[in-house]
């Protein structure tokens, strides 16, 4: 990484813990009183993703491309595995994750911060 970009990176490093707290708060606020409804999930996932992305943008992490992925499913006693793959720079790119569970549904949100050079 060249020096000027690295200096800028150090000034605005992706705050993983803070973003995990943002995700947790949004999930609890948006889903705590909901019962799983397959016809509503597309709207819920879009709204949650947009809200997470907007709150991360409010942190003024200008050098990061923000990508948010939200998964909501019906809780029926099953297990689930959630995986992603991407080209990644372990020195500058980060992700923050949090999940939510109630009696009828589960949700998982992953927010990626990809450093732009």
pLDDT, tens digit, 9 for 90 and up, residues 84-112:
777 888 889 999 999 999 999 999 999 99
Assigned fold of 14-115: Ribosomal protein S3 C-terminal domain (3.30.1140)
- The domain limits of the chain are 14-115
Specify the pTM.
0.86
pLDDT, tens digit, 9 for 90 and up, residues 8-26:
555 578 999 999 999 999 9
Q: Is the pLDDT of residue 6 over 70?
A: no
- Rounded Cα gap, residues 17 and 10, in angstroms: 16
pLDDT, tens digit, 9 for 90 and up, residues 59-77:
999 889 999 999 999 998 7
Q: Are 33 and 100 in contact (CB under 8 A)?
A: no
- Rounded Cα gap, residues 44 and 23, in angstroms: 14
């Amino acid at each position: 990484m060249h020096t000027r970009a690295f200096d800028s990176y150090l000034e605005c490093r992706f705050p993983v813990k803070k973003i995990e707290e943002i995700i947790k708060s949004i999930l609890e606020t948006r889903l705590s009183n909901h019962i799983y409804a397959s016809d509503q999930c597309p709207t819920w996932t879009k709204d949650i993703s947009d809200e997470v992305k907007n709150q991360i943008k409010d942190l003024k992490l200008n050098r990061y491309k923000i990508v948010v992925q939200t998964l909501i499913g019906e809780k029926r006693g099953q297990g689930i595995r959630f995986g992603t793959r991407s080209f990644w720079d372990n020195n500058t790119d980060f992700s923050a994750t949090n999940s939510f569970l109630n009696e009828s549904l589960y949700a998982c949100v992953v927010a990626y911060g990809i450093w732009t050079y």
